[in-house]
Chain A
Amino acid sequence: MTGKRYDALVFGGGSAGMAAAARIAAGGFSVAVLERERELGGVLNQCIHSGFGLKVFREDLTGPEYAERYCQRLASASGVDVYLETTAQEVGAAGAETPLTVYGYSRLHGILELSARAGVLAMGCRERNRGNIGIPGTRPAGVYTAGFAQRLLNIDGYLPGRRAVIVGSGDIGLIMARRLTWSGAEVLGVVEIQSYPSGLTRNVVQCLNDFGIPLHLSHVVSRILGRNRVEGVEVSPLEDGVPKQEKAFRLDCDTVLLSVGLLPDTELAKKLGVALNPETGGPLVDAGLQTSVAGVFACGNLLHVHDLVDYVTEEAERCAERVCEYLAGEYELAQHRVVPGANVRYVVPNRYFPGRENRFYLRALVVKNQARLELRIGGETVKQRRLAHVQPSEMVSFTLKPAELAGLASKADNALEVSIA
């Protein structure tokens, strides 16, 4: 068994983990990245389409191009060790100098005992699957999650089917509709339970409308048909929240792709004893993105699902700056609570710094034009912003600066309430 000590361990070498590790190393600390796959980059490697990096690089990049820039950044940084094909499996007893110890298993490195003073959880998400949404019917071959089908096609080079129906209108499903069409397969339709698409509007336009692929809003796949291979699906309209089976129609397909949401990969977080947010499924974090376990931070899609990788990078770098402060013994503890108010599903982080700039991400519960973001402390409005359009599938980000809190009468409870009107 190999044992090694670092200042920080980063779990996951996707967009969040790469950005965090590079920033921690830039702060002069030693850091190890543990990555389960053969390469760094995470899901970016299979996202061969463009649309990445418009914010961070002001360029329109594909996923592999975006990943490669951060791989190079990590390769040229000093004090970074990357453990590929390595999974952090067990949590060891905490030592006085190194409160975080994990055991990793790896084909390349054998059994590893890695310990550190701080950790960054950046494991991302897994896809929700058929079991999570409970589609009735037989259990034939040909039912895939959209991201897995994307990996089959883009990394392994296999076409998952010839005639596909996509369940759910998440971005991966929309992107796969175009990818399958461009690969010679036929996409018969996208079936979405909600009355609005759950992916970005631009993806509905360029991945469905460009090809005349129908989007069945307020519809569900009420049955999957087929003995050995999928032979079709039964699609029913939803009326008052109930599928109307008598109005169902059949689509003959050999493949069903599920694009029905993501779940944070929290196995390791649970072993570390990190408290989770029931609304996001990811860890609860303070203003510096530190979890309930001292020295353990979280960022990226593990923390909450982001629309754009650019936001993941931004969040991971901010997280890493706080990790550096923590390692230097300068972590700021003056913080107050953040609570979601009207029409807000969640706000991340769950606390704020009254004395420094804060950046927040939220998801709305409603679809609304000409909405207003309102921040209140003790009933008093501290900030308002106009939002041209909000919907649950589009993340809203905003900042709160110390200057905006100046002049606020000191309240017994300084909780910040974030709502949408």
Chain B
Amino acid sequence: MTGERRLVCIACPVGCRLAIRQEEGGEIRVSGNQCEKGDTYGREELLAPRRVVTATVRLTGSALRRLPVKTHLPLPREHIAALLAEASRLAVRAPVARGQVLLADFLATGVDLVATRTVEASGG
């Protein structure tokens, strides 16, 4: 593929307007980015887009009902639906530590689903 794709970088709130070109030889050039994250995002977005996924899962053993979770790294987009389906079946029992791994190495992507808050055990 040659030609230029124009994207807005989502790595941070600055929202740099990127131009991404793939040369005849296959080399990818990203321009318009103000930092390295934009370069990485531009390349990945062209070849294999990834997103950090956040959701909540069922929580027991606490007055809180839902435990917020995230993927500890961006997950390939094609696996997002499967991850959300798996997360909707999860039930976690308090206590929970922030960063605790709930699903390890999801579909061999190297991406874990982790808790994003600490929950102490309590009645309810």
Contacts and interface: CB of A to CB of B under 8 A. Distances in A.
Given A54-B13, A60-B52, A62-B54, A205 B8 contact: yes
Interface stretch (A18-26, A85-93, A149-157): A149-157
B55 interface: yes
A204 B56 CA distance: 22
A64 B65 contact: no
A182 B53 contact: yes
Contact of A202 (B10, B84, B117): B10
A202 B11 CA distance: 8
Contact of B54 (A48, A68, A157, A202): A48
Nearest to A209: B8
B10 A206 contact: yes
Looking at chain A's contact residues, is the secondary structure mostly helix, strand, loop, or mixed?
helix
Interface in A169-211: 182-183, 200-202, 204-206, 210
Nearest to A308: B13
Given A65-B117, A206-B51, A51 B13 contact: yes
B13 A202 contact: yes
Contacts of A234: none
Contact of A155 (B51, B53, B66, B70): B66
Contact of A182 (B10, B58, B84): B84
A181 to B, nearest CB: 10
Given A48-B68, A68-B117, A157-B65, A201 B52 contact: no
A210 B68 contact: no
Interface in A310-353: none
Contacts of B52: 50, 60
Interface residues of B, number: 27
A307 interface: yes
Given A64-B116, A154-B66, A205 B10 contact: yes
Interface string B70-98: 10000001001000100000000000001
Given A182-B84, A200-B15, A202-B15, A155 B54 contact: no
Interface in A9-40: none
B80 to A, nearest CB: 8
Contacts of B80: 182
A130 interface: no
Contacts of A200: 13, 15
A308 B14 CA distance: 11
A76 B46 CA distance: 46
Contacts of B84: 182
Interface of A: 48-51, 54, 60, 62-65, 67-68, 153-157, 182-183, 200-202, 204-206, 210, 307-308
The 7 residue pairs across chains A and B that have the minimum distance between CB atoms:
A64-B117, A48-B68, A201-B15, A202-B10, A62-B116, A157-B65, A157-B66
15 contacts: A48-B55, A48-B68, A50-B70, A62-B54, A65-B98, A67-B117, A153-B56, A154-B68, A156-B65, A182-B80, A200-B15, A201-B15, A202-B9, A202-B15, A204-B8
Given A50-B54, A156-B66, A157-B66, 16 more contacts: A48-B55, A48-B68, A51-B12, A51-B13, A54-B13, A62-B70, A62-B116, A64-B68, A65-B98, A154-B68, A155-B65, A182-B55, A202-B9, A204-B8, A205-B10, A206-B10
